Amino acid sequence: MLAAPAAAQDLQNRAVAPPVQDAPVPNAPPPAIGDDQVQFSASGLEYDTNADVVTATGEVRMFRQGDRLRADKVVWNRKTGKVVATGNIAVTNPEGDIAYGDEINLTDSLKDGVIDNMLVVLEQGGRLAAAQGTRDLNGTVELRTAAYTPCAVTNSAGCPKEPTWKITAVRVTYRPERQRIYYSGAKLHLSVLPMLQADYSALGTSGAFRISGYATESRRSDDLSSATLTDTERAFRGYIDGIARYQLSPNWTASGSLRLTTDRTFLRRYDISRDDRLRSTASLERIDDSSYFALTGWVVQTLRVNDQQGMQPIALPELDYRKRFTDPLLGGRLQLQLNTLALTRTDGQDTQRAFASVQWDLRKLTKWGQEVTFTALARADAYITNDTLSTAVASYRGIEGFRGRAIGAAAVDVKWPFIGTFLGGTQRFTPRVQIVASPKLANGSLPNEDSRAVDLDTSNLFALNRFAGYDRFEDSSRATYGAEWAVDLPGITLDATIGQSYRLDARPSLFADGTGLSDRFSDVVGRTELRFRDFVSLTHRYRVDKDSFAVRRNELDATIGSRASYFLVGYLRLNRDIFPAIEDLQDREELRVGGRVQFARFWSAFGSAVVDMTNKFEDPTSQSDGFDPIRHRLGVQYEDDCL
């Protein structure tokens, strides 16, 4: 295939401004609603009464139903409806896409026609260039000998530059209603790599996707659970990893991810990943100023030798809808939530859940400066559960069949900040007290699918429900108290938080021993963050046993450097001493290191590693010897504003 002429693929800006939105027509009355008449203005105007031809010259503007045209000269044949524009042409459609050209032949609808030496600047920021292009009444643009790029074509100083990447093609079709661009005979040009060729492709103007994978032929075991290994000659083995996201409209988004492998040892055998589970997802979301809707699903593939694939959950579907109402009651905020989830296992417990909840929040400031927040929650749950005996941990099963639950909770949260000077800077000390009341709930009769991993820290200390997920709700009355101290000095900031809770009633706790919440007094949790300008950051999170003062959670994250080059290290140790049968809450010890060095404007080298330092003393089920790298990577990266 011959390369297209460079002039036909000029993606640079044209020396003409687009027609202004709703530009006024001199001495013309405002158009009536629904008026489809052509309005225009020009420096000079000639009218041939015999031929019924209008010729406009000098800064010509034409408008019709949201379509706008600007040119040096326009000849309009009113009998045939043909419009020919020449010189510094710019045509804008109602969606904001702008087409530039040397000469254009249009109908008087200003919607369809042919443009020579065409450049289309899309409202989303991409641009198309071609030797000749056509546009039909539906807005579809067809280009011949064309090029496309979503990248910038000028540098920070406004000077022209080659885009990071572009696609040239024999034919390009842009369908705005689908927000997709189709190519035939396409070549991909990268400024840092040689030219790549593809026979046909399509690209969304509002989304992106990535797919990668590995494949090979080798001997493998078909049955890892058998004592006798059975080899399969020349078996296909592989792994696929993909992710996609498309902006369907300003409010709607579709996304998904795919991670699948042919067998349980492939990723470790070829040192691709140390993950022991792979999850594939699909999601459809809608977000606006006051509501959120999501329809999602996912499936899990286990890579653990002793796990059964039939025990892994398939979530299809999960539906979540939230609507926020402002000032519906006493000036507060009301939020409605509807949620449903179906979990299916081919060889295990099945659970269907649905609930509806309403939460009211009211925030007030007193004349003394206290911030007082009132919260009330009401929720109704419905569950259907089958095959509960297949779940090993009894507290996760629930009772088979249909079960319901009604939840009610109320809380008052008071913060009282004090601000003053400190060492040439400012300091803020904020004590905080919260009272939560909730009656005894039917938690034990319901399955626990999404509230298993529990750990007390500063992020959930003052939460209305300190369980993760929805299957468990904390049904006690309690008082939570703590304080925050923040210091802001020249170049240095310090933020420290500490807190604890006390259960006001004596009913048995839902929380397992070792979570920090099993007794009436909770463990003490805190977080300290220290920053020196934008160069050093240090964060420490901890949980201290209220009786022995043993550190049950110790987590440290440190970063040194700038955005261009930096080094980071993280350490986590969970010393909770929880019953070994509860797999979700076992002790862990982990080391994380990473870094990045920028050695050119767009080039950098990077690396990271995660080391499992858990031993059998900390977790009897662990296969680690106390130093097991579970994830690491090293590479070179090119990154600019478009790649």
- The torsion defined by the Cα of 512, 516, 522 and 525, in degrees rounded to 10, comes to -160
Q: Judge whether 238 lies within some domain.
A: no
Band (319; pLDDT cuts 50, 70, 90): very high
Residues in the chain: 643
Highest mean pLDDT among 44-48, 104-108, 289-293: 289-293
Considering only residues 320 and 133, tell me which one the structure prediction assigns the higher pLDDT: 320
Domain that holds residue 76: 6-205
pLDDT at 236 over 50: yes
Number of domains in the chain: 2
d(CA 643, CA 636): 14
Look at residues 155, 177, 205 and tell me which one is the last residue of a structural domain: 205
Q: Judge whether 76 lies within some domain.
A: yes
- Across the range 390-400, mean pLDDT stands at 88
Q: Judge whether 363 lies within some domain.
A: no
Within 10 A of 290 (CB to CB), how many other CB atoms are there? 11
pLDDT at 547 over 80: yes
pLDDT at 311 over 80: yes
Look at residues 153, 184, 205 and tell me which one is the last residue of a structural domain: 205
Q: Judge whether 70 lies within some domain.
A: yes
State the CATH number of the domain containing residue 77.
2.60.450.10
pLDDT at 119 over 90: no
pLDDT of residue 96: 77
Give the largest Cα separation in the chain, rounded: 104
Considering only residues 306 and 192, tell me which one the structure prediction assigns the higher pLDDT: 306
- Across the range 272-283, mean pLDDT stands at 88
Look at residues 205, 228, 260 and tell me which one is the last residue of a structural domain: 205
Q: Judge whether 116 lies within some domain.
A: yes
pLDDT digits (tens, 9 = 90+) for 206-232: 656 666 666 676 655 544 444 444 455
Q: Judge whether 105 lies within some domain.
A: yes
Q: Judge whether 128 lies within some domain.
A: yes
pLDDT digits (tens, 9 = 90+) for 128-180: 888 888 877 777 878 888 888 888 787 777 777 778 888 888 888 888 777 77
pLDDT at 524 over 80: yes
Q: Phi first, then psi: give them for residue 523, nearest 5 degrees.
A: -65, 165
pLDDT of residue 200: 47
Q: Judge whether 178 lies within some domain.
A: yes
d(CA 41, CA 520): 80
d(CA 502, CA 473): 17
d(CA 151, CA 156): 13
pLDDT digits (tens, 9 = 90+) for 256-268: 999 999 888 888 8
